[in-house]
């Protein structure tokens, strides 16, 4: 006699334990477990060949058919069961987008829709691989954010694959992941721009060679610019900037800031500036914390530095700010985990 667990006809079977098939008289010749989603469950026989156990758990919300045959039997025995749906679920929203091309500083950043208490289980279910191969490690910035990066910037031309195997992973008590997918994105050319706010200039280097040098204006003594390594996380040909959104009252409200590229979540941008005198750039730091380049109103004058730098940039490009008179930016403030040493980065992994 062959018995199957979950039993034949079960409507709300658990998906948190393996499927087992046992024969009480003789040995098992074959076992197949297939889901209505086309998946199959692999398994192993014990030494006596009387018990088969699936090596992974069944998926939630899936109907399974178990076909088992005992040695010497002419007919296989077939049973079915349906696993219950998870109650509460979570997903991870990831950056960068699938099939996109980014600069060499772009980490893989995942924001979860529910706080994760079992960080090890969730991190184990996510892998990031690169071609050419390089060691990539995860770092938890909070119970809802997990980033991945290599020790140094990605090599230009790298292909990166994010594999999410979160389906039915219990992130916290009774809350399960739903995603099982692979996402690929690409790394373009290497562009690293260094802003020296003592010299008030920015040197843009691409693939190791100097592409351009621009006069800039950074944060004033009262509103210093964060120092450290920052990564472009958003780009706007034109955007509105209001001082009230960054805790500075009604000091400014500019509806059409040209060529704005975000460097921190807290509101640091490198952007074009048409309202300051041209003489400011390269000679004075006058901003409220952003890095400004001379630009033209309307964002369509291709001869000005703001336009040129924007046109030469992409998401994931690196901007390094030094001599700003301010401390290093918090690594969690934007996609700026490069400010952590490799040892400190790895210490933030749950694995």
Q: Would you please indicate which residues are annotated as catalytic (active-site) residues?
A: 271, 290
Do residues 217 and 274 touch, judged by C-beta distance below 8 A?
Answer: no
Nearest CA-CA partner of 242 in 277, 269, 215, 278: 269
Q: Exposed (0-12), middle (13-18) or buried (19+): which is 275, by Cβ within 10 Å?
A: exposed
Query: What DSSP letter does each residue of 57-75 carry, written as one string?
Result: PPPTT-EEEEEEEETT-SS
What's the distance, CA 18 to chain centroid?
A: 31
The C-alpha atoms of residue 216 and residue 92 are separated, in whole angstroms, by 38
The side-by-side arrangement of strands in the sheet containing 126-131 is 101-102, 180-187, 159-165, 126-131
The C-alpha atoms of residue 271 and residue 255 are separated, in whole angstroms, by 13
The C-alpha atoms of residue 200 and residue 215 are separated, in whole angstroms, by 6
The C-alpha atoms of residue 116 and residue 39 are separated, in whole angstroms, by 27
The C-alpha atoms of residue 64 and residue 84 are separated, in whole angstroms, by 12
Helix (H, G, I), strand (E, B) or coil at 39: coil
Cis bond upstream, residue 71 (ω within 30):
no
Residue with tokens 């031309």: 157
Give the tokens for residue 153: 């910037």
Do residues 326 and 336 touch, judged by C-beta distance below 8 A?
Answer: no
Please count the other Cβ atoms lying within 10 Å of the Cβ belonging to residue 252: 15
Q: Which residues pair with 20 in a beta bridge?
A: 5, 53
H helices of 42-184, in order, are 119-124
């Amino acid at each position: 006699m062959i018995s199957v667990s979950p039993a034949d006809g079960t409507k709300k079977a658990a998906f948190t334990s393996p499927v087992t098939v046992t024969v009480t008289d003789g040995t098992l010749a074959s076992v197949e477990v297939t889901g209505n989603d086309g998946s199959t469950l692999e398994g192993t026989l014990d030494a006596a060949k009387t018990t088969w156990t699936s090596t992974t758990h069944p998926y939630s919300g899936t109907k399974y058919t178990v076909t088992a045959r005992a040695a010497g039997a002419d007919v296989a025995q077939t049973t079915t069961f349906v696993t219950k749906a998870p109650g509460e679920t979570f997903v991870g929203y990831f950056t960068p987008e699938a099939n996109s091309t980014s600069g060499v500083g772009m980490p893989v950043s995942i924001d979860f829709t529910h706080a994760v208490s079992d960080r090890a289980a969730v991190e184990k279910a996510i892998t990031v691989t690169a071609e050419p191969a390089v060691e990539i490690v995860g770092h938890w910035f909070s119970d809802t954010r997990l980033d991945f990066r290599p020790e140094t910037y990605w090599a230009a031309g790298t292909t990166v694959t994010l594999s999410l195997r979160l389906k039915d992973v219990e992130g916290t008590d009774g809350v399960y992941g739903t995603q099982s997918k692979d996402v690929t994105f690409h790394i373009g050319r290497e562009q690293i721009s260094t802003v020296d706010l003592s010299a008030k200039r920015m040197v843009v280097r691409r693939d190791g060679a100097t592409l351009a040098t621009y006069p800039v204006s950074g944060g004033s003594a009262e509103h210093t610019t964060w120092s450290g390594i920052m990564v472009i996380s958003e780009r706007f040909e034109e955007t509105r900037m209001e001082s009230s959104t960054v805790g500075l009252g009604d000091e400014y409200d500019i509806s059409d800031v040209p060529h704005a590229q975000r460097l921190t979540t807290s509101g640091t941008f490198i952007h074009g500036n048409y309202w300051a005198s041209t003489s400011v750039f390269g000679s004075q730091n006058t901003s409220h914390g952003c890095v400004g380049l001379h630009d033209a109103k309307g964002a369509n004058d291709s001869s000005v530095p703001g336009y040129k730098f924007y046109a030469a940039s992409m998401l994931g490009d690196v901007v390094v700010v030094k001599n700003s008179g301010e401390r290093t930016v918090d690594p969690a403030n934007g996609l700026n985990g490069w400010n952590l040493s490799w040892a400190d980065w790895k210490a933030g992994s749950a694995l």
